[in-house]
Amino acid sequence: MHIVIAGGHGKIALLLSRLLADAGHRPTGLIRDPEQSADLRSAGAEPVVLDLEKSTKEQVASALTGADAVVFAAGSGPDSGPERKLTVDRDGAVLLAEAAVAAGVRRFVVVSSIGADEYDPSSNDGMQIYLKAKSEADAAVRALDLDWTIVRPGGLTNDEPTGLVTVAERSDRSSISRADVAAVFAAVLETDQTIGKQFEVVGGSTPIAEALTGLGGPTKAE
């Protein structure tokens, strides 16, 4: 499969690119900074310079044309202000999803956040705005004619992968390694069982493939 990953230089995206490349897929990473290209190539991905905050839907769709799947893994980062949490984490995801529709790419997978729908709408706290951005982006993706999967990881760590997770519609607020999140996304892209599913994932005791099988079959027709 040819898989385009927005936010291609992120930690999860680089780990995912390596997993996909090693499995025989062709990952492409969308990046803003051309100086990051070498890191993507080292991870097995082809870099494409494209800034979601400065691109039109038509420009993004052109970058997605011919892909089999798209992954939104971009993020404004913990040090960003409230405005960029909305323009990247929300608007970037929506733009990418709409561009996927325009490009005829049905499979669309989102890196969201645990507890995204539980934000405080009256708060100006950065985390609450981030959760609001994720929640609104997820809702917009669900409303589009896509074969979507929305994955909401718990707190991210740089621990070694275990291959063991807990997957549920709602889970506790525990953590999960970025490496295990990347492995979950690699598995999600390999199975139609996750189409039309939104779930939280944290570290656990169930092998990833088994945990995803427990979600049941797809809820949207391809």
Locus of tokens 């893994």: 73
* Residue 130 known to be catalytic: yes
Among 7, 62, 23, residue whose Cα is nearest residue 188? 23
Classify burial at 64, counting beta carbons within 10 Å of its beta carbon; exposed 0-12, middle 13-18, buried 19 or more: buried
Q: Three-state DSSP class for 87?
A: helix
72, 119, 130, 148: which one is catalytic?
130
Residue 6 and residue 52 in contact, taking contact as beta carbons nearer than 8 Å: yes
Q: Report the sign of the C-alpha dihedral through residues 166, 170, 173, 176, in that order.
A: positive
Catalytic residues: 130
